[in-house]
A = this chain, B = another copy of it.
Amino acid sequence: MKLSEIANLVKGKLTGDGNSEIVNVGKIEYARKDEITFIANPVYEKYFNSTNAGAIIVSKSFVPPKDAKSIPLIYVEDPYLAFLNLLEVLNPEANNKETGIHSTAVISGSAIISDIEVNIGANCFIGNKCVIGKRVTILPNTVLLSGVIIGDDVLIYPNVTIYNSCKIGSRVIIHSGTAIGSDGFGHAKTADGTYQKIPQKGIVVIEDDVEIGSNCSIDRATIGETKIGKGVKLDNQIQIAHNVEIGENTVIAAHTGIAGSTKIGKNCMIGGKAGFVGHINICDNVIVTAACNVSKSITEPGVYSGYRARPQRQDLKQEALLRKIEEMQNRINKLENSSNKNS
């Protein structure tokens, strides 16, 4: 695509030669002559003169460095957004899709599969009474046990397992290795010290527009539903226990675990490796930083951090005080010496 065409596409103002041919997008450090790059963060301005890119997308407010080399620029409102758009245009989705239903997929006679553009890969298993919507793609070796319901425009990567009766909304993406609907961790201690399994009779409901990373575990409810709200984004290796509910548009980073029956509000942001004990409520608009452990309900929006979660301001203040503990000890020594002299 010609650079001038790209400028039109991103509604930017081009300076420099618009005739050069751009075939891809690239990071400013690594981009090649036939690639376009961008500067959204001033940190990257230092690469302005050294980049090999054929052009740079910059912000309207961008001022080139004094000794700037000559390179075509495209000035736009939001360089990162312009860049993302170009990513899609110059780099269309690699075709992972098996077209149609592969001959080695095992599909129950009682499953109801939309006849509009459904792809089911090799060695998949689709159990009894599953329902699969339009334009769904299920990649090889994924298993849906009985009665799973899948909406429209869903993409499920290989080696995923969805247990019986779970419900998946529309436009959901599920990455490899994830298990949805496995039994909640419930065992009642008996008199002899052994444990009796508590049957896990509920399901998991994944609402529309959810993305779930690789190797996540989302357990079915004991009774009722474990629910992942509309628009939630889960990173990899996340553990969601039985009867947990997560509110709309909450995002959770990798390795976070949420124990049974805890409810997380809407629009929360949870850092990686965070932990939540069971049976607590987190209100909307809460930010929990990475590696923070939450053992009590949170009722006020805000940022929480620390090994034992507390409002971040308190946490940082205590951390600063802790760094003075040696000084405090020295001051006590001095006071004692002077007190001893005085007495």
Contact = CB atoms under 8 A, between A and B. Distances in A.
Interface of A: 25-27, 30, 80-81, 84, 87-88, 91, 93-96, 102, 104, 106, 121-123, 125, 127-128, 139-141, 143, 145-147, 157-161, 163-165, 173, 175-179, 182-183, 185, 187-188, 193-195, 197-199, 201, 209, 211, 213-217, 219, 223-224, 231, 233, 235-237, 239, 241, 249, 251, 253-255, 257, 259, 267, 272-273, 275, 277, 290-291, 293, 295, 307-308, 317-319, 321-326, 328-329, 331-332, 335-336, 338-339, 342-343
Contact of A94 (B141, B147, B328): B147
A179 to B, nearest CB: 4
A317 to B, nearest CB: 8
Given A94-B146, A96-B146, A175-B183, 12 more contacts: A96-B164, A104-B106, A125-B140, A139-B143, A141-B161, A179-B236, A185-B236, A185-B254, A214-B217, A259-B272, A307-B307, A332-B332
Nearest to A266: B193
Copies of this chain held together in the complex: 3
Nearest to A78: B188
Nearest to A83: B223
Contacts of A295: 290
A173 B199 CA distance: 13
Q: Which 7 A-B pairs have the closest CB atoms?
A: A179-B214, A161-B176, A217-B236, A125-B140, A143-B158, A176-B179, A106-B122
Contacts of A185: 213, 233, 235-236, 253-254
A327 to B, nearest CB: 9
Contacts of A308: 319
Contacts of A216: 215
A27 B87 contact: no
